[in-house]
Amino acid sequence: MKDKLLGILKLLLALLLLPVTISITVAFWESLSLLKSSLVSAFGWGVVSYLILHILLYEPAQVFDTGKKIAEKALGFFSPLFKMAGFCVPIFTILSFVVYYVASLIWKDADFFKYFVFIAAFTFTMHFVFTANALKGKQAGAMKENYFFSMFIIYIVNMLIIAGAFTLLTKEFFFLDFWKRTTEIAGAIYTASFRQLFDVENRPAS
């Protein structure tokens, strides 16, 4: 009985997180679209390139496992509170931004941010695809409530990390604007859903 109630609670939380997941995706893409077209293309091609690699050519499972172990060791102090800390941190994506930051200090006049954006998108897609596959087999529940709840949380955390990195590395991406837009879209979805469910003014009388 306790497990069923917990499962229902997680399903409800997953449903509540769905608007946030949608809004943070839209807000990120809108913020990304304000950057140079070459950066937008680099990010898009990074996502597509990894999907083509994964589906048609090769699944770099060992690379993902290595990154996950590094993240788990780095965040070991979180493990008692958050067992999926290794899944929440796209370690290779973060490392790609760190390498770019160091490289930009050394070669100040070089314009290679778009290449690191491509790598970041590529590694983020790898991280998310393997995380989804790993959690799919572990999460129980007839309605996969644990799976959806976990994936939504991980995705939101990942997008916040990437948005934060863009804010630190380029003057054209503003985290506060991105977050404000996220809350606006999520609020609009929550409001529309609430009205659809509970607004009885326009319902026909029985």
The domains of the chain are located at 21-190
Closest to 89 (Cα-Cα) out of 100, 102, 74? 74
* pLDDT tens, residue order, the chain (206 aa): 666 676 678 788 888 999 999 999 999 999 999 999 999 999 999 999 999 999 999 999 999 989 888 887 777 666 555 667 778 889 999 999 999 999 988 988 888 899 999 999 999 999 999 999 888 866 555 556 678 888 999 999 999 999 999 999 988 899 999 999 999 999 999 999 888 877 645 555 54
35 Cβ contact list (under 8 Å, min separation 6): 170, 172, 173
Alpha-carbon radius of gyration of the chain: 19
Residue with structure tokens 């929440």?
88
Collapse the DSSP code of 153 into the 3-class scheme (helix H, G, I; strand E, B; otherwise coil) and give the result: helix
Q: Count the Cβ atoms, other than its own, within 10 Å of residue 85.
A: 18
Amino acid letter at 69?
A: K
29 Cβ contact list (under 8 Å, min separation 6): none
